[in-house]
Structure 1
Amino acid sequence: MSTAQPAALSYRSAVEADVPALVALVESAYRGDASRAGWTTEADLLDGQRTDAQGVGEIVRDADSLLLVVERAGELVACCHTAHRGDHVYFGMFAVRPGLQGAGLGKEILAEAERRARETWDAKEMRMTVVNVREELIAYYVRRGYRRTGELSPFPYGDERFGVPLRDDLAFETLVKEL
């Protein structure tokens, strides 16, 4: 029986050449049948796409953003986006390959994103928005020190770049963590 530890995670900034693989990763983590292998699926809430190459490419080119590529042994396993927004850093586009979810990678990657937000932008606060009916996902972030604000913003119904809603009660709730 082998007791070898999995290879360590490595982090780097995304480049244009990463865009197709990042779009595929994000889609696999949130939409369609492939996403059901993990616990972050939105397949029962939203159909259609989660992101596209144009949107991911814009993030890669944005000087106030960092799209972090997470690899293990040279293989893409996760990504996340941080964006400097004045008095805080926004966190989003967090995706871990569905078959690897639930093994602690997310917690490690989130901590790295928070560290980089403090070091890169001297951020004092991280904010994110989560679909309000995703109670399990919200609870995950609360366990990691994020606070529910009760602040809701409308879901972009009618804009298929964000998906095709399967329910009419979706909104985004803002979560905040002091860094």
Structure 2
Amino acid sequence: MSTALAVRSSTESKNITVILQKNDLFEELVALTDRIRQRAFGFFQNRGASRGNDLEDWFKAESELLQQVPVEMSETDEAYTVRAEVPGFDAKNLTVRAGQNSICIHGKKEQKKDKETEYTEVSSQEFCRCIDLPLAIDPNKVSAHLDNGVLKLDLQKVAPAKKLEAKAA
């Protein structure tokens, strides 16, 4: 089940896809891990297949393929607010997955190469940031706003069940 949320933007209004179930998140993370693995293996081969730098190769591949996304989270009694810096990403490049106790922000841009370009370095065109939340939220009440490269998510907490006290007659 997916719902597109309206995005308030300083320039134009677009949609960020908010997915309420995380069934396909696992497949996306497996594919992302596979791309990192392939790039790390390329570093290994370029070194002449010498062993001993596996972790260094992995981190180098990860830093080339994934962009770091700083986040800031604040909380009130009713909601969480998450701000993520996603400069260069449009609303159409962003997907937010809302679960009951977590939120995942995924951004991916297609990198276009000119036919005349002879050499280019790999640049970060993708990120995935998952945040575990201390208390449950209502995935149906997530709002997303993108303004000047800052994604703001408002996450409504699930209302705690009211305690009923038994009164003696």
Asked if TM exceeds 0.5, the reply is no
Higher helix share: 1
Report which of the two structures shows the higher radius of gyration computed on alpha carbons: 2
TM-score by length of structure 2 reads: 0.22
TM-score by length of structure 1 reads: 0.21
